[in-house]
Structure 1
């Protein structure tokens, strides 16, 4: 069992950018969902992202692998990181308040630490466990949702989605072993998700029956696909390759911070004291997980 790798300044920068892109997805979805149903948005999201990613792969003339191990890696990642969690989260958010959903989504690093430890991939040190729990407390404090008020079914669906994300972090490690570049891994993942979800859309909501989108909704859908999916998953695989699956999943603790800040900056939402306190707790949790600051203060 290996010790979790240190997070470099470059990796922290990529984590923050990824959190910004995924935090911004709440804005894009909020606009698009007024005109299209969730399943159509999810399929359009992964489908448009797939087209964009393969266009870049072709332009860069990256080498592709079509052997069974590579295809299994793409398929597994598409199921675990896109198809299953996207559908579960969309269904759950039909009944859950956004604050409650944010709390449950932030449990992803807990699954990541546990699964990586059980799989023998990365050791779950007390400092890292404490950091994840402190960050989770910060998310709960910031959004102010009451866990006891959550309906059981949607809450379990959110937990299953975060468990799937945790498994995806471990599954994605095989791309490095196979020598598959991050851009190709991202394109293969969204392709698999599109092939899985598109038949469900054709059966339940044929595209020709959907209403035409307004310019605002169409722009939001493009932003969701190109920025919060295509670009975001390119960063995802680069971070996974650099710092491992557990460190990668820390992004779910940072996403609520950007969601609150963006809401205050562009939607006129109030930035309350509880938001600032929660951000401080999250920052403290991330510092514990990173480990360098506690070691400098208290020694090894």
Structure 2
């Protein structure tokens, strides 16, 4: 269903802020990876974000779930929405540009439509969705590069790892709708991050050694940003914008994240992306706008009879 909700000025401002915050996360993760491994970077992200969100839950005095099945759902959600995609994308960023990672990350909306159509009877693929998904896949293929699709080297595998992360996000959306729809968003986010921290902290410890705070100031600032601001804070902001703007309009944040990440990557890390990456993002963006229905609404308005 097309979200017709009008976006207020405040919602636009917070939507833009969310795009800026998430766009900056790709740079901060890449900076942290200069000193810590990808598993450890994710362990830091989930652990500190979890603590902040539980503090928010305590301040708001929200009731905690008592059903063991809900806590199991948190664990699965933490695996699908944090542990797996964060790890896949962090590892991918070791071998591809942060800007390109953000472009491939934008395909989350495309895979989300497919996952919803598979698991929910009321989310069937319409002609509009089929066109949007098709353009999105074309954009992903162009961003990866046709030559990289033929030559399976480390760079290609890194790009596929990022795509696998977006598929995890899509499946997480299905799981959340089925299992966590009755939970307050703050509790759901804190529970989810608890599940992911329970997975990532021991895994990182075994694979990369104990977590340490004896890190360079640059690394500590990067971890603080992507854990506290771009994870805990962004989740809270996400749900605020969702309430004000609706889920369809919230899809626009994906179009804001990639340009921010690209600019920061070029400015701070001196990254240079090929023309195929920009062309791929353009097709991805067009596909998402068609999925959202915004383009079709504009065309209908333009074609409607004008008063004489």
Given the two structures, how large is their TM-score scaled by the length of structure 1? 0.79
Aligned equivalents of 2:267, 2:97: Cα separation in 1: 21
In the other structure, the counterpart of 1:90 is 90
Is 1:61 equivalent to 2:67 in the alignment? no
The 1:132/1:243 distance shift into structure 2, 3 A limit, reads farther
Aligned equivalents of 1:238, 1:176: Cα separation in 2: 18
In the other structure, the counterpart of 1:125 is 126
Deviations along 1:104-129, one digit per CA (max 9) or x if unpaired, are: 43322221111112222424333344
Quote the offset at 1:222 in angstroms.
Answer: 0.4
Q: Is the contact made by 2:49 and 2:193 (CA closer than 8 Å) also made in structure 1?
A: yes
Quote the offset at 1:54 in angstroms.
Answer: 0.8
The 1:231/1:211 distance shift into structure 2, 3 A limit, reads closer
Given the two structures, how large is their TM-score scaled by the length of structure 2? 0.78
Deviations along 1:21-68, one digit per CA (max 9) or x if unpaired, are: 221111211221112111111100110101111111111211211213
The 1:237/1:13 distance shift into structure 2, 3 A limit, reads same
Q: Is the contact made by 2:98 and 2:265 (CA closer than 8 Å) also made in structure 1?
A: no
In the other structure, the counterpart of 1:28 is 28
Is 1:148 equivalent to 2:153 in the alignment? no
Q: Is the contact made by 2:46 and 2:227 (CA closer than 8 Å) also made in structure 1?
A: yes
Deviations along 1:144-176, one digit per CA (max 9) or x if unpaired, are: 652432535444433322211111112222466
Relative to structure 2, which stretch is displaced further, 18-27 or 256-265? 256-265
The 1:258/1:290 distance shift into structure 2, 3 A limit, reads farther
In the other structure, the counterpart of 2:4 is 6
Aligned equivalents of 1:277, 1:157: Cα separation in 2: 21
Relative to structure 2, which stretch is displaced further, 161-170 or 227-236? 227-236
Q: Is the contact made by 1:166 and 1:249 (CA closer than 8 Å) also made in structure 2?
A: no
Quote the offset at 1:9 in angstroms.
Answer: 1.4
In the other structure, the counterpart of 2:258 is 256
In the other structure, the counterpart of 1:181 is 184
Selected match of 1:220 from 222, 232, 235: 222
Q: Cα RMSD (Å) of the superposition?
A: 3.5
In the other structure, the counterpart of 1:74 is 74
The 1:153/1:139 distance shift into structure 2, 3 A limit, reads closer
In the other structure, the counterpart of 2:169 is 165
Which structure 2 segments of 5+ residues have no match?
none
The 1:205/1:76 distance shift into structure 2, 3 A limit, reads same
In the other structure, the counterpart of 2:193 is 190
Which structure 1 segments of 5+ residues have no match?
none
Deviations along 1:166-203, one digit per CA (max 9) or x if unpaired, are: 1111222246631x211111111111100011111221
Relative to structure 2, which stretch is displaced further, 188-197 or 4-13? 4-13
Relative to structure 2, which stretch is displaced further, 32-41 or 68-77? 68-77
Q: Is the contact made by 2:78 and 2:192 (CA closer than 8 Å) also made in structure 1?
A: yes
The 1:98/1:177 distance shift into structure 2, 3 A limit, reads closer
Quote the offset at 1:131 in angstroms.
Answer: 3.9
Aligned equivalents of 1:51, 1:286: Cα separation in 2: 34
Query: How many aligned residue pairs are there?
Result: 292
